[in-house]
Amino acid sequence: MKEFYTPKFPHLVSPLRIGKLTLRSRMASAPMGFPDITEDGCITRDMTAFYEHRAKGGASIVTVSEGVVHWATGKSHARLINMQNPGVLASLTNTARAIRRHGAAASIELNHGGMYADMDVLEAERGGEKFKYGPSDMTLPDGTRVRKMPRELIAEVVDSFGKAAALARRAGFDMVMIHGAHGWLLGQFLSPALNRRTDKYGGSLENRARLSIEVIGAVRAAVGADFPIEFRMSGGARDAQKCGTADAVGFAKLIEGKIDLLHVSCGFGEDDFSSTHPPMFVPHGVNVHLAAAIRASVSVPVATVGALNDPAQMEDIIASGKADIVCMARALLADPELPKKVANNREDEIIRCLRCFTCHAERMLTQTRVCSLNPVIGREYEARFEVVRSGATKRVLVAGGGPGGLTAALTAARRGHAVTLCEASGALGGAITAEEGIDFKRESLEYIRTMERLLLRSGVNIRLHARVTPELVREFCPDALIVAVGAEPVIPEIPGIDGRSVIIANDMPRRRAEITGRVAVIGGGLVGCESAVYLAREGYAVTIIEAEGELARDANPRHRPMLLELLRENAKILVNTRAEEIGETVIITKTGESIPADTVIIAVGQRPRFAAAEALRNIIPETAFVGDCVAARTIREATFRGYHAALDL
């Protein structure tokens, strides 16, 4: 007899009433933009599919980001939704329908960038006069002039929020979110550091809150009493002068009777990116205390957000009354089905976000959205969210158990193929195994463990200590071969590198007990820098030595600034410095300087295993090469290529 279902996380999967709307669970998809938008601000079919994926994955609310209410003055980024475009209605309607047909509530974030309008648009490409509107006259660090927003424009902006909300309701959205967080226009008016007005919109908290309250009033008048309004606010920021928690609590009390849900985030502006988007170096749920402080002061339901992906932690947040809803953005990029897996007691199958910022960096670099672990992100419409089963079953041999090989094996198995994965070492994970024991990289190891569970449940035959050779391929006689044999560490030719105090970065987990005293890290790439941060936080005196003039050049532009900040705080940095010799306790550099070092970590890069890969070429016709054995790159490129190699079978 089948056992009766008992949810492991009863609070997370319980419904919640918001106004007259019943949410199916306490897990919501936070606003996260999809940059593939038409130039005039209309939603594309790919963008619609991006949000539909989260609805199909079980999120209770899917919030589309972001709708600009006043296009001429409020567009913060180059590609956003133009709520004033007469032609936007159809694409809004199709998106709302796509979300709702899976049982999720469709919401849309309404915003005005204020003094941070056009923040990612080159000045030469900006139209009109070269100034922006904010609460007060000022000049931004880049020299852009900010003009005090006149009362007539304030009234126009307030009216535009109302009209945008009415349009959203007409399009079939179930609710709207007013964006007052992260240093955009409403937050700028709330900030005592930026708002120096002497009229009714400046001075006291009540006056600084007036614009937000007028916007809420305009939205309420436009959508009616029965339509849920969510207000997104910052509960604090790195610079408390811009956004203090006491002011945030006071503001929440002012608006609680006018809204249906209060969404508490953190951070103020681009300079506070790491507060709004907590990096891997800080604990999960680092901003939950802000929501808890506000929930203790108001009667309206409160949502919390910020690096949440652990069902046990999220269950405790709801059960203990810190918040009523947990919202996720990056976590639902890595695994859009996270809420469904929680509801189905399959939490051990969740692919957890690495907080590597590939998703944010790619928007900066290419105006697209991708994920290191989820190769479907950015191509949801094309992929239809699912792996289509193959018309014929093939015997597939995968050589290598790193991210590319794991993704290829799982995808091939889900397509109905008979898959065997061989890994030459005694553990799956490839280069990721070198991150074992590094606290801020634990999601990487959890990813490997989760993938192993998924492979076994999908029927993949995993063979460890099994190197794929030409002889093995001929003996196995597969229909298809996927080669993902990875890369190996580069060992520089430095006298003394064979000494007992020298450890290759890949071997750090195995030789962790041998690390003593003062540590020198040779190599200032991503691996060397992250190793240096880890060791410094463990209490070692660390010096990082890089032959080139910059550190972490292979890190993405969102992760790199936070990594460099930690290095400057915790380690001695030597650039344009080349190690010439490693002695018992010192490294002799090109300048003749002696660097005390009881332990030396070598992290000068990875070299593709070309020879091992080439030995497997032209043995069978259907052979694909993926991951680092082609070129030492990133997890994202390995998973992406592995996924598509399996689709090509």
CATH number at residue 300: 3.20.20.70
pLDDT of residue 1: 43
The pLDDT tens digits of the residues spanning 282-329 come to 999 999 999 999 999 999 999 999 999 999 999 999 999 999 999 999
One domain for residues 359 and 428: no
Rounded to 5 degrees, φ, ψ at 22 are: -105, 120
Using the predicted structure, report yes or no on whether residue 4 has a pLDDT greater than 50. yes
Residue 295: inside a domain, yes or no? yes
One domain for residues 237 and 303: yes
The pLDDT tens digits of the residues spanning 30-57 come to 999 998 899 999 999 999 999 999 999 9
| Final residue in a domain of this structure, among 383, 413, 445 | 383
One domain for residues 600 and 614: no
Using the predicted structure, report yes or no on whether residue 2 has a pLDDT greater than 80. no
CATH number at residue 532: 3.50.50.60
Residue 67 host element (H or E): strand 61-68
Q: Do 41 and 85 meet the contact criterion of CB atoms below 8 Å apart? A: yes
Surface-to-core class of residue 238, CB atoms within 10 Å of its CB (0-12 exposed, 13-18 middle, 19+ buried): middle
One domain for residues 141 and 225: yes
The pLDDT tens digits of the residues spanning 327-378 come to 999 999 999 999 999 999 999 999 999 999 999 988 888 888 999 999 999 9
| Final residue in a domain of this structure, among 353, 383, 413 | 383
CATH number at residue 627: 3.40.50.720
> CB-based contacts of 4: which residues, under 8 Å, 6+ apart?
none
Query: Given pLDDT bands bounded at 50, 70 and 90, which one contains residue 119?
Result: low
Residue 11: inside a domain, yes or no? no
β 138-139/145-148 pair status = antiparallel
Using the predicted structure, report yes or no on whether residue 593 has a pLDDT greater than 90. no
Largest CA distance in the chain: 83
State whether residue 524 is helix, strand or coil: coil
**Helix, strand, coil % over all residues of the chain, rounded to 5:** 35, 20, 45
Q: Which residues form the domain of 522?
A: 502-604
The mean per-residue pLDDT over the stretch 130-158 comes to 90
The mean per-residue pLDDT over the stretch 51-76 comes to 95
- In this prediction the pTM is 0.92
pLDDT of residue 300: 96
| Final residue in a domain of this structure, among 324, 350, 383 | 383
Is pLDDT larger for residue 185 or for residue 594? 185
Using the predicted structure, report yes or no on whether residue 428 has a pLDDT greater than 90. yes
pLDDT of residue 313: 97
CB environment 50-82: b (16+ within 10 A), e (fewer):
bbbbbbbbbbbbbbbbbbbbbbebbbbbbbbbb
Residue 369: inside a domain, yes or no? yes
Average pLDDT, whole number, for the chain? Answer: 93
pLDDT of residue 5: 84
Token pair listed for 82: 């133009």
The pLDDT tens digits of the residues spanning 453-464 come to 999 999 999 999
One domain for residues 597 and 619: no
One domain for residues 294 and 218: yes
Residue 77: inside a domain, yes or no? yes
One domain for residues 152 and 60: yes
Residue 6: inside a domain, yes or no? no
Residue 638: inside a domain, yes or no? yes
One domain for residues 590 and 616: no
One domain for residues 460 and 327: no
Using the predicted structure, report yes or no on whether residue 124 has a pLDDT greater than 60. no
Q: Count of domains in the chain?
A: 3
The mean per-residue pLDDT over the stretch 59-66 comes to 96
Using the predicted structure, report yes or no on whether residue 129 has a pLDDT greater than 80. no
The pLDDT tens digits of the residues spanning 192-213 come to 999 999 999 999 999 999 999 9
The pLDDT tens digits of the residues spanning 609-624 come to 999 999 999 999 999 9
One domain for residues 612 and 518: no
Rounded to 5 degrees, φ, ψ at 526 are: -60, -45
Q: Cα(176)–Cα(387) distance, rounded to whole angstroms? A: 33
pLDDT of residue 127: 52
One domain for residues 579 and 616: no
Residue 390: inside a domain, yes or no? no
CB environment 582-611: b (16+ within 10 A), e (fewer):
beeebbbbeeeeebebbbbbbbbbbebbee
Q: Cα(42)–Cα(37) distance, rounded to whole angstroms? A: 6
Token pair listed for 25: 């669970």
One domain for residues 212 and 110: yes
Query: Given pLDDT bands bounded at 50, 70 and 90, which one contains residue 122?
Result: very low
Residue 28: inside a domain, yes or no? yes
Using the predicted structure, report yes or no on whether residue 214 has a pLDDT greater than 70. yes
The mean per-residue pLDDT over the stretch 445-468 comes to 97
Is pLDDT larger for residue 429 or for residue 628? 429
